[in-house]
Amino acid sequence: MKRLIALFAMAAAAVATMGQTYAQPQYPAKPVKIVVGFAAGGLNDVLARLIAQKLTPVMGQAFFVENRPGAGANIGAEYVARSDPDGYTLLLSSSALAINPAITPKLTYDAQKDFTPIIRITTTKMLIMVNPSVPASNLRELIALAKANPGKLNYASAGPGSPIHLASEMFKHAAGIDIVHIPYKGSTPSLMAAVAGEVQVLVDVMPTAIPLIKSGKLRPIAVAAERRSAALPDVPTAGEAGLPGFVATSWNGVLAPAKTPDSVIRKLNSEIAKIMVSSDMKAKVLELGAEGETSTPEEFATFLRDETAKWARAVSAAGIKVE
Note if the bond before 28 is cis, omega within 30 degrees: yes
Q: Please tell me the CATH code under which domain 125-223 is placed.
A: 3.40.190.10
Q: Where do the structural domains in the chain lie, given as residue ranges? A: 32-123+251-318, 125-223
The model's pLDDT over 127-149, given as tens digits with 9 standing for 90+, comes to 999 999 999 999 999 999 999 99
H/E stretch holding 36 reads strand 32-36
Q: What is the pTM of this model?
A: 0.73
User: Fold identical between 32-123+251-318 and 125-223?
Assistant: yes
Based on its alpha-carbon atoms, the radius of gyration of the chain, rounded to whole angstroms, reads 23
Identify how many contiguous H helices and E strands the chain contains and give both numbers: 11, 10
Backbone angles phi, psi at 296, to 5 degrees: -80, 165
With residues binned 3-state (H G I as helix, E B as strand, rest as coil), the percentages for the chain, rounded to 5, are: 45, 20, 35
Closest by CA to 103, choosing from 188, 44, 183, 165, is 165
- Per CATH, the homologous superfamily of domain 32-123+251-318 is Bordetella uptake gene, domain 1 (3.40.190.150)
pLDDT of residue 316: 80
Which residues of the chain, if any, have pLDDT below 50?
1-2, 4-23
pLDDT of residue 15: 43
